[in-house]
Amino acid sequence: MTTQEMYEQINKWKKEKNAIILAHYYQRPEIQDIADYVGDSLALSQMASKTDADIIVFCGVHFMAETAKLLSPQKKVLLPVMEAGCVMANMMREEDIKKYREEHPDTIILMYVNSTARCKQYADVCVTSSNGLKIIDHYAKLGKPMLYGPDRNLGKYAMQKSKDIKLDLWPGFCGIHNGRTKEEVLKAKAEHPNAEFIAHPECKLEVLEEAAFVGSTKGLIEYVTKSECKEFIVGTECGVIHEMEKRCPDKKFYLLSNMFNCFEMKLTHLEDLYNCLRDETNEIEIPEDIAVRARKCVDKMLELSK
């Protein structure tokens, strides 16, 4: 079948099944173009909590679909490729965070959304790169010890932004963001002297310090849309450039590194989405006792994000 034929059939099934397709900005362009809503982790979580669809097909990775299920437990949540995971999320094991919770009962645990539901059940609040600094600052005012994880880089960035914030950091990171270096940035700036460098806070501090703007996926898109600059070196996953080019056809975007390509995000092809919606396969299920506990930290995030 051609792409257009699959699009037509998918749209037909969406109406018949009362289904909605959510896609992350890191997904393949053909997935973004058929999605009802494309966004970053926070925006997609908010959409999942508000939709009146009976079926949510989440084109992303496993923890994202889990979060949608936590927020819409009565809905059928489908993930086109069940193997689509997250290296960072896997750097925090349930037994380890459970032990930390038991040993540090008074510590506030701020859990990055890139984590499993089994880990989220031990957290006080969930955060994303869009709201992380705001929520960390909120809890810092309570004067209690805090753990942030599993992404150590965003935690380090938060402490740099506010010297009054002290966090215990989980030793996790995003493989593609953490692997970028200051040398790569300087080389890209030399090759594109008229371009601004923008970066995601999952990058290391040495990279973020070279950026004209640091923000979430959505934040980066909004920045280039509003900026008067015409050229940008993009310091995050390559999928975001599709949306940037759609919004700003008159601007040029250069990917900082060819390594900015998330294998897990790119596992989902249009054919996978087509088959998933047709057969309603790969349903996300979370044991109720875990879901009840994990849902609290995600609900708290949405409350503090208003």
Structure tokens at 83: 């193997």
Burial of 185 (0-12, 13-18, 19+ CB in 10 A): buried
Q: Classify domain 180-255 at the CATH superfamily level.
A: NadA-like (3.40.50.10800)
Domain 89-174+291-304 classified CATH 1.20.1250.20? no
Q: What mean pLDDT, rounded, does the chain reach? A: 96
| Residues linked to residue 39 through DSSP beta bridges, in sequence order | 24
DSSP H/E element including 251: none
Locus of tokens 């994000």: 305
In tens, the pLDDT along 83-123 reads 999 999 999 999 999 999 999 999 999 999 999 999 999 99
Q: What is the pLDDT of residue 119?
A: 98
**What's the average model confidence in pLDDT over 251-256?**
98
If pLDDT is split at 50, 70 and 90, which confidence band does 204 have? very high
In tens, the pLDDT along 255-274 reads 999 999 999 999 999 999 99
**Fold for domain 3-84+265-285?**
Rossmann fold (3.40.50)
CA pair distance 36, 40, nearest whole angstrom = 14
Q: What is the pLDDT of residue 280?
A: 98
CA pair distance 95, 110, nearest whole angstrom = 17
Name the percent of the chain lying above pLDDT 90: 94
If pLDDT is split at 50, 70 and 90, which confidence band does 240 have? very high
Could you tell me the pTM of the whole model? 0.94
Task: For the sheet with 37-39, list strands across it.
Answer: 37-39, 19-24, 55-59, 76-78
Task: Please give the single-letter amino acid code of residue 278.
Answer: R
CA pair distance 146, 269, nearest whole angstrom = 39
Name the segment(s) of the chain with CATH classification 3.40.50.10800: 3-84+265-285, 89-174+291-304, 180-255
In tens, the pLDDT along 113-172 reads 999 999 999 999 999 999 999 999 999 999 999 999 999 999 999 999 988 899 999 999
